[in-house]
Amino acid sequence: MIDTLVEVSGLRVVARKEGVDTPIVKDVGFSIPRGEVLALIGESGSGKTTIALSLLGYARRGCRIREGSIRIGETRVLELDAEGLYDLRGRKVSYIAQSAAAAFNPMKTIMDQVVEGALIHGTSKRAQAEAKAVELFAALALPDPGGIGARYPHQVSGGQLQRLMAAMALITEPDLVVLDEPTTALDVTTQIEVLRAFKKVVRERGATAVYVSHDLAVVAQMADQILVLSDGEMREIGATADILERPAHSYTKSLLAAAAPQPRTGTAEAAETPLLEIHGLVAGYGRTGADGMPAVRVLDNIDLAIGRGRTLGVIGESGSGKTTLARVVAGLVPAARGTVLFDGKPLPTNLTERTREQFRRIQIVFQNADTVLNPAHDIERILARPLAFYHGVRGEEARKRIARLLDLVKLPAAIGSRRPAELSGGQKQRVNLARALAAEPDLILCDEVTSALDTVVGAAVLDLLAELRRELGVSLMFISHDISTVRAVCDQVVVLYSGCKVDSGSRKALAAPPFHPYADLLIASVPELRTGWLEGLPARLAVEAPAPGAGKPPAGLCTFLDRCPVRIAGVCEKVAPPRRALEGGKEILCHHTGAELEALQSS
């Protein structure tokens, strides 16, 4: 007999606005056997978090659980009164939120916060609880399990904090753990260590869990069952392998298709002189010192080139300096050293020295479409400004051009009279793109343009970019932290780590070793869309990210030194790595030769 721990049936949640109820979860039902993990997957607005929260008997402000029943063990959650819910939450059902950084109180030590749940519910004495916490820290593969509890939240890394939150949730030995996008805010290389720890704990303790995510590949590693949601309705439920290999519903198929992006590169010929060339670029923030260097150096000695009609991918984790690179080219951050050549001529890195023509030819598309459109202007005004500013086009002609631009980015013309707040995220990103296109630029700097979007919407934006590139022949600098997107759209790829260019080469060169050790870590950390990927990872990837404040390696040495799994003792700590040219136009910054790296990484 299968012991069913959780049973949900006929769940309906409504959102109330101005007296009208809009259903946001419609007739959802599922059951989870004890010791299994159910994944809720869907795009933003699909109701996955709402369902997860209703398992705690909680509805967000303005929402109400209308009908349905939820049973966890012997408890009927929706029939509980306030006191019953108090006993339930954190004791029988616990919750791990998306942002651990926001969930911890910065003023209290980690141990105080981890044992708090156990003390509130009186499940154990403080000494016992602390012993159990240390045990959990060890199980979650945290460094120094005995001492980490005495630290404050800002003294550990983001990935560690996420695991500490798991310890907080597990300390009362709850029947059910709800994980709400626990790795979405993390870098891929960090995500992997967190996933590993979660998986181990879930398996070892036989915990029952609900895992909420938008990322199928992550879910494939964690879940026994997957429930696919869209618009608050269940599309499909089934065992993980079945959903991944034999999706029945068309929506699941589109999700799967969007998760594995197809190459969208053009076939433009490389011209004789590159459109943009950067040599020995150094840039940063803060006061400039006596040597002309900024206090915080974000980019160090960067060289790169983008050909006409080509796409250059810039990839790296948060803090690697990729956004700063785009800002230097756009003129928002001055370069301390080095030259930027645009179309063969030097480009002033200061805003005030650039001509309007130079501004027109280089357009930047910022990451966050929510904040990049002025909320006080309507869409027509937003698009009309670059037309008037660069081309002097006004009146009827401008209206025609705006209609054409909206058509180009596949938006209805009626959208022109709306304000940004009335558009969806994908629509805003299209307007953002249309504004850049209005200038008829030669180079578009795309800074994480798909990161804030759902997979399916993001894929549509990528398609659009590829199409524009084909039709208009613009060059793109495509900045992303997501290697699969970069692979799909770029001809050339540059890998940044801590402000240094550690690896570069064509898209093909990025498909097989040898890589720079960081690029190797980055590529291997991207979850694959199959079960068992996490278990099959090679041991060289199990490197802990350093805690904040650990300090960078001394200047001049390899910036990846403290995380490098293949460093050469006695060499890497003393000598700066040479820039090596490998076969196929690849360039890496490493002491290892191409052959050595290839041997290490093919295992």
Partner 1 sequence: MTLARSGWRTAASLPIAGRVGLFFVVLWLVIAVIGPAIAPHDVGAVVSPDAFGPLSAAYPLGTDYLGRDMLSRVLHAARFTIGLALVAALAASLTGTSLALIAATAGGWADEVMSRLMDAFISIPSKMLALVMVAAFGSSVPLLILTAALSYTPGAYRIARSLAVNVKTLEYVQAARARGEGLGYVARAEILPNMVNPMLADFGLRFVFVVLLLSGMSFLGLGVQPPDADLGSLVRENIGGLFEGAPAVVTPAIAIATLTVSVNLLIDAISGRATRVAEP
Question: Which residues of this chain interact with partner 1, rule CB under 8 A?
Answer: 330-332, 351, 354, 356, 358-360, 363-364, 366, 368, 371-377, 385-386, 389, 435, 439
In contact, 600 and 540? CB cutoff 8 Å: yes
Query: 501: which strand partners?
Result: 496
Return the HEC string of 314-381. EECCCCCCHHHHHHHHHCCCCEEEEEEEECCEECCCCHHHCCHHHHHHEEEECCCHHHHCCCCCCHHH
Q: Report the candidate in 485, 482, 472 with the shortest Cα–Cα distance to residue 264.
A: 485
Name the token pair of 444: 């578009």
Helix (H) or strand (E) holding 295: strand 294-306
Q: Report the candidate in 333, 324, 322, 326 with the shortest Cα–Cα distance to residue 276.
A: 326
CA of 210: how far to CAs of 44, 174, 219, 442, 499, in Å? Answer: 17, 12, 11, 48, 38
- Which residue's structure tokens are 């599922």? 30
Return the HEC string of 443-459. EEEEECCCCCCCHHHHH
DSSP class of residue 526 equals S
- Which residue's structure tokens are 């012997």? 74
User: b/e string for 195-215 if b means 16 or more Cβ within 10 A?
Assistant: bbbbeebbeeeebbbbbbbbb
